[in-house]
Structure 1
Amino acid sequence: MSEFDDNPFVDPVDVNPFKDPSVVEVTSTAMDGIQEYNPFSASGLEKYNETTIPISDGSSQPAVLQPSSEPSPQATAAAAQAELLKQQEELEKKAAELERKEQALKNRGVSMGPENNWPPLPKFFPIKPCFYQDFNEEIPVEYQRVCKMMYYLWMYHCITLFLNILACLAHFTVDASHGVDFGLAILWFILFSPAAFVCWYRPVYKAFKSDSSFNFFFFFFIFSFQVIVYIIQSVGIPYWGNSGWIYSISVIGTNLAVAVFMMVVAGFFTVSAVLSVILLKTVHGKYRRTGASFQKAQQEFSHGVVSNQTFQSAASSAASAAAQNAFQSN
């Protein structure tokens, strides 16, 4: 019955793991070592003296705060203001210099555009070029060919007039009664060479350059008369100063060599008339593609007249004179 009197919820063997002999020995030894260790004793210091890191001399100095190198906001603002004032002074100096140069150019009558390059005269020549022309720079690519052809026609025109002088001179040497033809031939060369350049070549050049309707209409008006003049010169009416076909044929009975030379000049006049008709039609075809019109020509003409300085000064003078007369009459 004693076996049944025992408590079934109690372990039959009360085992304490901390009372094990091996555990008790280890714990007792560790506690003894800890109790005997004194880190401040001489033996402890000697034991750990080799691993002690000495303090350097530089570390003994007290820490000093370095002063900040960044400028204050007031100093930055003052420096920026001084820089702005300096830049403003430089700009004012440059503006004054540019104004002085511009005024000097105006006083000398020199334009701000490119320097004139036509006619191509030598540097030492007293007469300077009067016009500027550059086909590659000023004329669009699609109009450069026809514009150059007009320029070559003008050069051919001048050569023909010069040959006409020689033909009339040759006839004058064999027949003194035709001295008037020689004189008129010289007059036509002196008059028509520059007049053709100014009156119909430059207008067509400027028309292609700036797509100007006014210059186109001016060219058509003048060049139509030029075509008529070429036809008259090729016909060669005697005593008109033109070595044309009628005039040259009439000289065959007088001097055959002179007549042949005059016929060559008559052929030059004929070629000029034919080329002028062809180029007139060519320019007209180009003109129709540019979108120019008579209304645009009128607008350009009115704008050019109103903005012209000479016209403005004349109009102001007339207005002031009219106002003075009205004031005096009252």
Structure 2
Amino acid sequence: MSYNENPFASSNTLDTNPFDDPVKPSTNDAQLEDLRQREADLERRERELAQKSDNIRKHGRNNWPPFFPLIFHSIQDEIPSASQPLVTRLYQLWLVLAGTLIVNMVACICILASGSSNGGGDLGSSIGYVIIITPLSFLLWYRPIYNGYMKEQALYYYLYLFFGGFHLLFSVYMIIGIPSTGSAGLIQTIQAFSKPSLPAAIVGTVATVGWVVQGVGLAYYYRQIWAHHNAAGHSVEKAKAELASHGAKAYFTRG
């Protein structure tokens, strides 16, 4: 101790009240939880980016179809969250359609094996449906409405409404099941039960149910899309302007 120091001087400032409770560091649980949530979100996004980067390294930017990627298809990444459930259901209905076309073809094989006089024509047409309708349905009505909700452009809605309406008529045609048309629908299935030819009847029933499910489902969502199209104020003039501005290449591009 220096002799010049005042031994009675206090080391505490006069501004501090010695009778106050000691100050404890405050912890905000809500802030800590928010911080932890942000860290978890960052980790999740990093994992998603790593997965996307890995997919790009393997297949390039395109990821669909999985066995031979030709286009990029990601409802989660490209469709607004409010529209994701509807577009997901439409994609599932397209998958039901693809599966129904295959089952329908198998049913026509069974119809031919049962000795039907129209079996050859049914089988040939059913094979053509698998080869032609599967890709065309994706390109002409599913992909346009996918792009429509992604870009919110009138042109895509008109493409969907036209080709989607045509496909609804095709679904009704396939549900009926007229002999020699390549459809194992109601008429063909009833005839298979009456023979009886159980394999053709059973597979035909599955095909008929498939046609009904995807047809009714598409009709239901067709009405919703029509209402959304009207509410959004899309018009033929707007579609023409979009086509003139962007050209046909806009169909194959994103953004």
Q: If the length of structure 1 is used for normalisation, what is the TM-score? A: 0.54
Contact persistence 2:105–2:123 (CA under 8 A)? yes
Match of 2:64 in 1: 118
* 1:286 Cα offset (Å): 2.3
SS of corresponding position for 2:222: helix
Match of 2:39 in 1: none
- 1:186-228 Cα offsets, whole Å, 9 max, x none, are 1101110000000111100111011110010011000000000
Alignment of 1:290 onto 2:236: no
Contact persistence 1:211–1:292 (CA under 8 A)? no
Match of 2:89 in 1: 149
Given candidates 66, 70, 79, the residue that maps to 1:130 is: 70
Given candidates 110, 121, 128, the residue that maps to 1:180 is: 121
* 1:261 Cα offset (Å): 2.7
Give the letter for the 1:278 counterpart: Y
* 1:176 Cα offset (Å): 5.3
User: How many angstroms apart in 1 are the aligned matches of 2:246 and 2:122?
Assistant: 41
In structure 2, the gaps of 5 or more residues are 1-59, 251-255
Contact persistence 1:118–1:129 (CA under 8 A)? yes
- 1:161-193 Cα offsets, whole Å, 9 max, x none, are 000011111111111531111111111011100
Q: How does 1:1-330 map to 2 (within 5 A)?
A: 115-121=61-67, 128-175=68-115, 177=117, 178-257=119-198, 258-305=200-247
Q: What RMSD over aligned residues (CA atoms) do the two structures have, in Å?
A: 1.8
Q: If the length of structure 2 is used for normalisation, what is the TM-score? A: 0.70
Give the letter for the 2:127 counterpart: I
Give the letter for the 1:167 counterpart: A
Contact persistence 1:156–1:272 (CA under 8 A)? yes
- 1:32-89 Cα offsets, whole Å, 9 max, x none, are xxxxxxxxxxxxxxxxxxxxxxxxxxxxxxxxxxxxxxxxxxxxxxxxxxxxxxxxxx
Give the letter for the 2:207 counterpart: V
User: How many angstroms apart in 2 are the aligned matches of 1:137 and 1:272?
Assistant: 25
* 1:264 Cα offset (Å): 2.5
User: How many angstroms apart in 2 are the aligned matches of 1:284 and 1:163?
Assistant: 30
SS of corresponding position for 1:129: coil
Distance change (3 Å), C-alpha of 1:307 and 1:185 = closer
Q: How many pairs align?
A: 189
Contact persistence 1:135–1:144 (CA under 8 A)? yes
SS of corresponding position for 1:252: helix
* 1:255 Cα offset (Å): 2.5
User: How many angstroms apart in 2 are the aligned matches of 1:244 and 1:295?
Assistant: 41
The runs of at least 4 aligned residues of structure 1 exceeding 4 Å deviation read none
Contact persistence 1:236–1:247 (CA under 8 A)? yes
User: How many angstroms apart in 1 are the aligned matches of 2:87 and 2:108?
Assistant: 32
Give the letter for the 1:282 counterpart: Q
Contact persistence 2:103–2:206 (CA under 8 A)? no
User: How many angstroms apart in 1 are the aligned matches of 2:214 and 2:184?
Assistant: 14
Contact persistence 2:114–2:197 (CA under 8 A)? no
In structure 1, the gaps of 5 or more residues are 1-113, 122-127, 309-330
Percent identity (aligned): 26
Larger radius of gyration: 1
Structure having greater relative contact order (Cα 8 Å, sep ≥ 6):
2
Match of 1:65 in 2: none
* 1:131 Cα offset (Å): 0.8
